[in-house]
Amino acid sequence: MVNVSSLLDLGYLVSATLFIFGIKMLSSPKTAPKGNMYGAVGMLVAVLVTVLKMQLSDGGIEGWMWILMGLGIGSAIGYWMASTVEMTGMPELVALFNGFGGAASALVALSEGIRMYTSETYVIAEPVYQVYHLIPVLAIGASALVGWMTLTGSLIAMFKLKGGFTIPFTKKWVRFPTWGPSWLNYAKVGLFIAGLVMILMTITDPGNLKLIYGIVAVSCILGILFVLPIGGADMPVVVSLLNSLSGIAAAFTGFVVGNTVLIIAGSMVGAAGLILTFIMCKAMNRDLFDVLFKTFGGSTRESVTRTKVGSDPEEVAMVLDGISKCIIVPGYGMAVSQSQHLVKEFADMLEENDVEVSYAIHPVAGRMPGHMNVLLAEANVPYEQLIEMDEINSEFGDCDVALVIGANDTVNPVARTGEGPLGGMPIIAADKAGVVVIIKRSLSVGYAGVDNDLFYEDKTMMLFGDGKKMMAELNTALKEL
């Protein structure tokens, strides 16, 4: 029996290997689908190995029906959510999945804690600081603190990404608030310290379930208060951080139940998410501390006092006639208007006229890391045309036309001055192109609350209106040339 159990441990090695290769493949849009599949297969292997090891243990598994029901219902719900979600709703779905991951880990740790602490055979170790007692007790508290905070924080992030919610049994839409007075930071620190104190108290009083439930309550409130003050511009950072926290919660739970693959997978997700979080912060020239504890752009927003005469699609089409290179800069406006398919149609027409077309991707464009890549991949844009900001910025000097669709702060030249909320933030160098065409509803400021000088330059042509509508009219004008 022992030999069979040891042999099954090789399954954990296979699972961990699949996780590693899967995460590696997620670094490129071209290999991301295969990487996602590797991760899914790795999780399936881990689940099967765990179930088999439990069956081989003393007493085996009781309640197979519940396990099968959980797998079946969970798989059906996951398949339905993933297959029905629109691409514009992908950030909300990712945020929700992060929350589910944290909650799953926290629930496993909580149930194990209740079982351990209510068991008649459980005896407090003497001395209490022996490792075999200390690790599971601390891991239960840590998993609860991180897991429930991830759940509530992810739910708030989801509603912020959606822009609000509908009141149950009514059709009334309520915009989700962004609320964060200065004293709230002290409350967050106080709650976090209170959670740590209760975790330490469980070491000497593991039978006190009130402490465990207290950690759960503090964690839930903490998750809400952490995300509530954060604005939409920082959402890519928040989504990455919540992803990291869900992995950390899973790793803590692995220590609770003694599951090796859970520790490995959780640690990898936690580390990958944290690295991505810092990449997002660097792309915005922001510190993680500022994202979590300071508002983006302050409480004031510039008023637009200048005017700009808008162009029409026919004028833009004439400018595009005869060019040799065009760089498309997608922004969140493209996602909101769901115009990615029309953008692909536009690019195809240019390529038929021997125009070189590429896409400049800013790391924080949209509402989650890789948001623009996902949308453009849905429209079957070739992966090799999706070029990261650092690689493509040097090409704008040789670019005839830069087409900006729904982007604002990520192309604002004021960032180069080092002044204001955007000071020092790396931007797409669209202003270096010969002609800049910007599709935007109005001249309104972006999330940073700063006016964009690029809108008013002589070489800039503004197409005011909904992204999908303007792209359709531009494509029609190109066909009529």
How many other CB atoms sit within 10 Å of the CB of residue 252?
A: 26
Dihedral angle of Cα 69, 72, 74, 78, to the nearest 10 degrees = -170
Helix residue spans in 205-307 (DSSP H): 209-227, 235-257, 260-283, 288-293
Catalytic, out of 409, 431, 458, 466: 409
228's tokens = 């509530």
Give the separation between CA 247 and CA 140, rounded to whole angstroms.
15
Give the separation between CA 305 and CA 206, rounded to whole angstroms.
63
Give the separation between CA 290 and CA 420, rounded to whole angstroms.
15
Cis preceding-peptide flag for 33 (omega within 30 of 0)? no
Q: Active-site residue 409, yes or no?
A: yes
CA triplet 237, 242, 243: central angle to 5 degrees? 100
DSSP string, 98-151: HHHHHHHHHHHHHHHHHHHHH-TT----SSTT-HHHHHHHHHHHHHHHHHHHHH
For tokens 């950390």, the residue is 248
CB 39 within 8 A of CB 18: yes
CA-based nearest residue to 110, from 2, 219, 13, 6:
219
The phi, psi pair for 325, rounded to 5°, reads -145, 135
Relative to beta strand 386-388, strand 356-361 is parallel
CB 296 within 8 A of CB 448: yes
Dihedral angle of Cα 11, 17, 23, 29, to the nearest 10 degrees = -100
Give the separation between CA 162 and CA 173, rounded to whole angstroms.
11
306's tokens = 């200048």
Looking from the CA of 435 toward its CB, the CA atoms found within 13 Å total: 17
153's tokens = 């924080």
Which residues form the catalytic set?
409
